[in-house]
Structure 1
């Protein structure tokens, strides 16, 4: 995708219409195109909404922001606003709400989309309004729907006893080679963290600011299933010395002894993946581990989780040019450099996508698995909520840990080197893994 602030108004509107169509095709392919009514209205886990709630919610969010806020159109279905307000009803309550049935939800979001495309021509995208300049609010809505699509993929993964519905699109296997070293040295010094000029970046990615870090080492690749199994076989789940006190409480209360969806059978570890049971591929990044598990592994390995700043410097900073890149490999997204967009339905094997390495040679920082960091989710110096506090600010504090980099399920439009995700440290249903770091003086 070309730089957004380089496009004239007509080209930007054409791009927006294309991306709106693409994300809707993806949403329907995870809901009404593959499932019938009862499966769409059922709740597979109290952690997740019924799929039909997600489907109508993305349409209601689109109506709120692209019709009412951006285009000044009268509300279409104001009586359903409360039903689809994520802050009014926790996920555990949503199955009991009078939600739109699947057919009505699909008709509603289609009607919203038709009005959005009709009104797009009259909205100024190169004017002075911060909501519409460079198409910001349209990018926000597209990214929001892609984020819900990733949530819907997590819901599909949690469906127990259901037949496999999702198949990868048949993309060729990624280019692979052996990494030159297990970890990479990052020199001490300042770098530019965050962004002030990315047109579709969220408020929590802003503003760009200077962070000065001491030297450190960071893993070249994410931790693999094989490496994590070594931790398990060494008694990692039975040794409180490796665990954060709250993590040990979680381990004992939950009884967890392996990543989510792993099954021990006949002396072999298997995993359940979208209705299929298969051997755990030892060369893929470990997936579906919570922050406490990642932290315990890092301690056992004599390392630690990287801070969010350490992760971003390794991903974005180019010491030769003295500037931060949008992606590890450069400023523009390029296919074939990362495992994104649901292309494989699982992480890629170790050594994949060497062309996606950062200036330091750190690999697969974008795509494959969301990576836990040690950092609590907070605003940057000079943070300002925009366009609403409920996207970021209400989550700031010690309860949430920052994740970086996206996963195989994340669409390229919904991730970049500055993008920040966050979740509770006990969450495992999301497509999360990690890599480790260590202080340079520990060498």
Structure 2
């Protein structure tokens, strides 16, 4: 995949058209031919929207930004804007709305897309207009749809019943065990965030210098076997490993294992997209909340990394004295990370060694979103763009920052500077973690 910078207008339009097509194929693959109409309109959990809401929402978002805002066209379906405004209607109430049925939603998407491709041919990427410069608004729409595709995968995971999605074999990656369990990141400054990536979001900006003391960070994400050791050591029953709010969550929720795990006949099993299987010990643990990750880190004598520590370990090249877009370099290469729904699961320890960062830290993008210890705030000099509801509405101590993407994240929708966030109780998303510790 070509990076969306240093391209002339013609090449950028070709990139945009290709990415618009690829993401739509993905969205339709998650909603067409895999479930009947009842399956698309049902709500499997109050945490998630009916799949048909996500489907029409991405079309409405595309119309709002690529037709109305960027091309200045008249609205196609202004009467549905409120139905698909994520801030106007929380997920729990969306099934009660007069949503477009699946066939009508698909027809709406087709109409919007045809007009978008027509206007793309006439588009100008004005360097003085931040909305169109570098094709930003197109990149925003493509990334937005990929994010909803990952949300739809989380909805599929919450479904009960027979599997609806094919389970591809994880592409082979040579397993090369890390030389050490943790990696030293030496003290010194690095540039955090970005000021020049044309498709980066407002919360990734501006790039700024951060000076960190030396620290150790795990060479790989915490595995299922690692986490089972915490469970078997009574980690869920020892208050000293938990924060006050974490212990309240543990007592109130009754949880004693990652989401979708059950114990039968002395063996831990997991439910994965309708399939029940033994928990694979070497895979990165997923479906754990921030409180669980934090408790494990304390039990292990470590802590969760700050997001600055995470980004330096992933992005900074100390020899070149600059940041990379991905841990291995500036361009995405499929064999270096478990991204883009290549499989419906994390990879195992030792995989994707060629995707290590300059410091030798493995699997920092893909596999599982990684909890950090940081609350979600804007960087100094932050400016909300193009709307406050993407980032600024979530700033504050209620949300914890996640980094790195998961196996379900598309490569276009993640990079070393990308910041995700969620409540510390969330477990349905594809989250795991790695630990860090101070240099003693």
Q: Same fold (TM over 0.5)?
A: yes
**Paired residue secondary structure (2:226):** helix
- What TM-score results when the alignment is normalised by the length of structure 2? 0.99
1:393 equivalent in structure 2: 392
Q: Distance in 1 between matches of 2:94 and 2:207?
A: 38
1:300 equivalent in structure 2: 299
1:423 aligns with 2:422: yes
1:253 equivalent in structure 2: 252
Aligned residues: 440
- How do residues 337-376 of structure 1 correspond to structure 2 at under 5 angstroms? 337-376=336-375
- How do residues 234-245 of structure 1 correspond to structure 2 at under 5 angstroms? 234-245=233-244
1:78 aligns with 2:78: yes
Q: How far 1:8 sits from its partner (Å)?
A: 1.1
What CA RMSD, in Å, does the superposition of the two structures yield over aligned residues? 0.8
**Paired residue secondary structure (1:398):** strand
- What TM-score results when the alignment is normalised by the length of structure 1? 0.98
1:92 aligns with 2:92: yes
* Residues 34, 165 of structure 1: 8 Å contact kept: yes
Deviations 1:359-414 (A, max 9, x none): 00000000000000000000001000010000000000000000000000000000
* Residues 9, 126 of structure 1: 8 Å contact kept: no
Deviations 1:82-133 (A, max 9, x none): 0000000000000000000111011011110011001111110244211011
1:152 equivalent in structure 2: 152
1:214 equivalent in structure 2: 213
- How do residues 163-182 of structure 1 correspond to structure 2 at under 5 angstroms? 163-170=162-169, 172-182=171-181
Deviations 1:191-216 (A, max 9, x none): 00000000100000000000011110
Deviations 1:246-303 (A, max 9, x none): 0100000000000000010010000000000000000001100000000000000000
Deviations 1:301-341 (A, max 9, x none): 00000000000000011111111111110111111000000
2:110 equivalent in structure 1: 110
Q: Distance in 1 between matches of 2:91 and 2:261?
A: 25
**Paired residue secondary structure (1:212):** strand
**Paired residue secondary structure (1:5):** coil
1:433 equivalent in structure 2: 432
Q: Distance in 1 between matches of 2:404 and 2:211?
A: 21
1:60 equivalent in structure 2: 60
Q: Distance in 2 between matches of 1:167 and 1:337?
A: 23
Q: Distance in 2 between matches of 1:169 and 1:135?
A: 33
* Residues 168, 343 of structure 1: 8 Å contact kept: no
**Paired residue secondary structure (2:183):** strand
Q: Distance in 2 between matches of 1:191 and 1:341?
A: 28
**Paired residue secondary structure (1:48):** coil
Q: Which runs of 5+ in 1 are unaligned?
A: none
2:316 equivalent in structure 1: 317
Mark the CA change 1:260 to 1:178 in structure 2 (over 3 Å): closer, same or farther: same
Q: Distance in 1 between matches of 2:102 and 2:5?
A: 38
* Residues 171, 342 of structure 2: 8 Å contact kept: no
* Residues 308, 402 of structure 1: 8 Å contact kept: yes
Q: Distance in 1 between matches of 2:20 and 2:62?
A: 10
Q: Distance in 2 between matches of 1:58 and 1:155?
A: 16
Q: Distance in 2 between matches of 1:127 and 1:327?
A: 25
Q: Distance in 1 between matches of 2:281 and 2:172?
A: 17
Q: How far 1:32 sits from its partner (Å)?
A: 2.2
* Residues 2, 15 of structure 2: 8 Å contact kept: no
2:275 equivalent in structure 1: 276
Q: How far 1:172 sits from its partner (Å)?
A: 2.9
1:203 aligns with 2:208: no
* Residues 307, 374 of structure 1: 8 Å contact kept: yes
Q: Distance in 2 between matches of 1:118 and 1:92?
A: 36
Q: How far 1:33 sits from its partner (Å)?
A: 2.8
1:40 equivalent in structure 2: 40
Mark the CA change 1:43 to 1:250 in structure 2 (over 3 Å): closer, same or farther: same
**Paired residue secondary structure (2:335):** coil
Q: Distance in 2 between matches of 1:181 and 1:119?
A: 53
